[in-house]
Structure 1
Amino acid sequence: MPSMFEGLQLPSTFDAHVHLRSGEMMETVVGTIRDGGADMVYVMPNLVPPITTIEMALDYQSKLKALEPNVTFLMSLFLCPALTPDMIIEARKAGIKGVKSYPAGVTTNSATGVLDYKSFYPVIAEIQKQGLVLNLHGECPSSSRDEITVLNAEEAFLPTLGMLHRDFPDLRIVLEHCTTEKAIEAVKSYGPTVVGTITAHHLSLTVDDWAGESFNYCKPVAKTPRDRIALLKAAASGSPKFFFGSDSAPHSIQAKQGSLNPPAKQAAGIYTQPFCTQLVLDAFEQGCQDGLLNEDQLTHKVLSGFLGEHGRLFYHQPMSNRQIILGAREIVQIPDLIAVDNRTVAIAPFRRGQRTRSLGWL
């Protein structure tokens, strides 16, 4: 195992995009957040039912805090017709940080998502006025008529990103989990109010890695080698317009494998939470070995910026005063399963059975 980052000390990670689920799944995954080096996370609202009210968001936050009091949970609301401008005003007062938009039907629990953004303009205007963040799942629904598939759904969405930025130039917008070179270029082309998150798994995967491998299947899907290189270079650029959001999305093993009776498709989502910081650094290290990145560019400033400080700045959060250390102990093997005693949920983590560096807290 290469040791490029052996002994590296960094501020704790801010994971700007996590799925923590509910029930036993929540109880299983929340305890792994700090294992991956994060002590602040931005929580997605696409539960069943989705988080559509302030009361639901605060109740969810209190459950998360009870499970892990050493993590700061930043909360969001699900953009849906029930949301009103007055609710956005109250959300800001309650400390909720943003609103997440899912185009209808594109990913897990998004059936009640957005069909027409202009119908939400009064709410989006209030989001801008109140200084909240609009988080975009940047894909269009698949359509044979419009020749949109999982492979070009993100590219098809980019004109909508441009429209929203044009109509709300002061609105802070996050294009979540960028997967393509064109998405990276689009984010670069706009001002500082438009940023993009990048996941650990998209820094490693291409289409060939998930085609036929359900445990590498997520939405948006990983794209071409050229797209992966663009993500690596953006993440390693030092630009505050790009920062880490794992999109760690746990599903049971059964859901990831699909079902014949009753018929069910394989669930989209990759679980990276317990090793998220290490997985990013592994991808950077592999990028250097492949000649795609230069080791000299991966300075402490660049790494701490991508893994936490750029995101904290964008979300108006204080910088971390906690430190993590990489490779402080032995190299570890990623387990085949993550499970907790006395619970029925078992989850297969990303790169199960492979090795990565250890991580400790100072």
Structure 2
Amino acid sequence: MEFTKITEIELPAAYDAHVHLRDGEMAQLVTPTIRQGGVSQVYVMPNLVPPITTIEQCLSYRKRLQAVEPKVEYFMSLYLHESLTPDIIREAKKAGITGVKSYPAGVTTNSSSGVLDYNVFYPIFAAMEEENMVLNLHGEVPSTPSSAPLKSPSSSASSDTAPSPPAAAAAAAITILNAEPAFLPTLLSLHQHFPNLRIVLEHCSTSAAINTVRACGPSVSGTITAHHLSLIIDDWAGDPFHFCKPVAKTPEDRDALIRAVVASDGRFFLGTDSAPHDGGKKRGEDKIAAGVFTQPYAVGYVLDALEVGVKRGVIEEASVTKEVLEGFLGKWGRKFYGIEDEKNERIVLRKGGEEIVGILTKGGLGVQVVPYRRGEKTWKVEWK
């Protein structure tokens, strides 16, 4: 097919391997937009306040989401926390929980209860490997405080163990621009110690991340968001609604992500990291909340980014095949997670048929969210 010339395409419903649906009023607002974006199955992040650290919390959260939108299938995760034990991991597997999400402490929204040292969680990772659960990594190192002196990492670290994120931050000045590359040795170390543990490096934002995932065995994959396929540094530097963690990087990094979509051999798949925040937290507070909201237009954003990539010469038009679209948007992620698409629902997308709303609101709710690329046109999703 000549991708840039098509105006309508039919595809299987998408699987979004990384979503933030929040809770309470925010969940009531954004959860119904999952299917609007062309998605039938989602993997839900656990960084609520407080974080989802118990099986009971996780299952209760899924019930609340199902009550809001019962047509979506929700796959759930626990928050990597010191209260977890190998026995909890085994019970979580029996309860149908899919994986565990790791956040380095303080690196992004609602991550204050996150990891200080990955080594102490090795018993957890061993149990996850045995139970065939997925470890999801927010792959960044926390930034170095501006007042902190630079020093070498602790000499007590063993030679075959990558430094934990705080040690890595101490080794060099870490900013939001190099936080992901600084984390990659930790990914390699975890893969070395647990070669059969299924690991997902979430929301890859650099060419270095793409290359590192490819250097690992088949038990390691990466997700790519819709917005990282389009944004670069200049886009978020002056616009709070384009600011996320990890931040968008250089044009070269963006182009590496686009190429990975069409030439990944199934190693990368869609995880939107759609992250809703009330408009006031993006505009009016002293510190801008990190997150780009893409859920209602998820599949359309990806198609738009690939079309721009073709027109800019980043990828060949012939590389955007129906097989690639079906793979990146669902097939490859489902295969890695061992997820069946029993309903086999399909969507039809029509180019330019949808105008992105300026503000997402719902009567009776006290929250509102500004979507990515507000006011622009994208593909309209219809369910067959």
| TM-score in terms of structure 2 length | 0.91
Correspondence for 1:326: 349
Q: Contact conserved, 2:356 with 2:371, CA < 8 A, in 1?
A: yes
Question: 1:189 pairs with 215, 232, 235, which one?
Answer: 215
Q: Contact conserved, 2:12 with 2:326, CA < 8 A, in 1?
A: yes
Q: Contact conserved, 1:45 with 1:76, CA < 8 A, in 2?
A: yes
Question: 1:149 pairs with 171, 175, 185, which one?
Answer: 175
Q: Do residues 131 (structure 1) and 154 (structure 2) align? A: no
Q: Do residues 229 (structure 1) and 255 (structure 2) align? A: yes
Question: 1:285 pairs with 307, 332, 357, which one?
Answer: 307
The residue type paired with residue 61 of structure 1 is R
The residue type paired with residue 196 of structure 2 is D
Structure 1 residue runs of 4 or more that deviate by more than 2 Å after TM superposition: 2-5
Alpha-carbon deviations, 1:293-315, whole Å to 9, x = none?
Answer: 11111111100000000000011
- For 2:85 and 2:127, locate their aligned partners in 1 and report how far apart those are by CA, in whole Å: 9
Q: Do residues 66 (structure 1) and 70 (structure 2) align? A: no
Unaligned runs of 5+ in 2: 151-171
- For 2:6 and 2:249, locate their aligned partners in 1 and report how far apart those are by CA, in whole Å: 27
Q: Do residues 158 (structure 1) and 188 (structure 2) align? A: no
User: Secondary structure at 1:344's aligned position in 2?
Assistant: coil
Q: Do residues 346 (structure 1) and 368 (structure 2) align? A: yes
- For 2:19 and 2:234, locate their aligned partners in 1 and report how far apart those are by CA, in whole Å: 25
Q: Do residues 122 (structure 1) and 148 (structure 2) align? A: no
User: Secondary structure at 1:279's aligned position in 2?
Assistant: helix
- For 2:98 and 2:353, locate their aligned partners in 1 and report how far apart those are by CA, in whole Å: 37
- For 2:328 and 2:51, locate their aligned partners in 1 and report how far apart those are by CA, in whole Å: 29
Aligned ranges 1:80-91 → 2 under 5 Å: 80-91=81-92
User: Secondary structure at 1:183's aligned position in 2?
Assistant: helix
- For 1:46 and 1:124, locate their aligned partners in 2 and report how far apart those are by CA, in whole Å: 19
- For 2:102 and 2:364, locate their aligned partners in 1 and report how far apart those are by CA, in whole Å: 35
Correspondence for 2:272: 246
User: Secondary structure at 1:348's aligned position in 2?
Assistant: coil
Correspondence for 1:265: 287
- For 1:102 and 1:3, locate their aligned partners in 2 and report how far apart those are by CA, in whole Å: 38
Q: Contact conserved, 1:238 with 1:301, CA < 8 A, in 2?
A: no
- For 1:246 and 1:51, locate their aligned partners in 2 and report how far apart those are by CA, in whole Å: 20
The residue type paired with residue 78 of structure 2 is L
Q: Shift of the alpha carbon at 1:333? A: 1.2
Aligned-CA RMSD value: 1.2
Question: 2:332 pairs with 304, 310, 317, which one?
Answer: 310
User: Secondary structure at 1:346's aligned position in 2?
Assistant: coil
Unaligned runs of 5+ in 1: none
- For 1:4 and 1:235, locate their aligned partners in 2 and report how far apart those are by CA, in whole Å: 19
User: Secondary structure at 2:228's aligned position in 1?
Assistant: helix
Q: Shift of the alpha carbon at 1:238? A: 4.8
Q: Shift of the alpha carbon at 1:5? A: 3.9
Q: Shift of the alpha carbon at 1:210? A: 0.3
Correspondence for 1:301: 323
Q: Contact conserved, 1:4 with 1:285, CA < 8 A, in 2?
A: no
- For 2:71 and 2:304, locate their aligned partners in 1 and report how far apart those are by CA, in whole Å: 26
User: Quick one: structure 1 residues 160 and 361, their matched pair in 2 at CA, closer, same or farther if it must change by over 3 Å?
Assistant: same
User: Quick one: structure 1 residues 5 and 35, their matched pair in 2 at CA, closer, same or farther if it must change by over 3 Å?
Assistant: farther
Q: Contact conserved, 1:238 with 1:302, CA < 8 A, in 2?
A: no
Q: Contact conserved, 1:238 with 1:305, CA < 8 A, in 2?
A: no
Q: Shift of the alpha carbon at 1:3? A: 6.0
Q: Do residues 167 (structure 1) and 168 (structure 2) align? A: no
Q: Contact conserved, 2:4 with 2:317, CA < 8 A, in 1?
A: no
User: Secondary structure at 1:288's aligned position in 2?
Assistant: helix
Correspondence for 1:218: 244
The residue type paired with residue 223 of structure 2 is T
- For 1:238 and 1:219, locate their aligned partners in 2 and report how far apart those are by CA, in whole Å: 23
- For 1:238 and 1:56, locate their aligned partners in 2 and report how far apart those are by CA, in whole Å: 36
Identity of aligned residues (%): 54
Alpha-carbon deviations, 1:164-183, whole Å to 9, x = none?
Answer: 00000000000000000000
Correspondence for 1:107: 108
Q: Contact conserved, 1:84 with 1:123, CA < 8 A, in 2?
A: yes
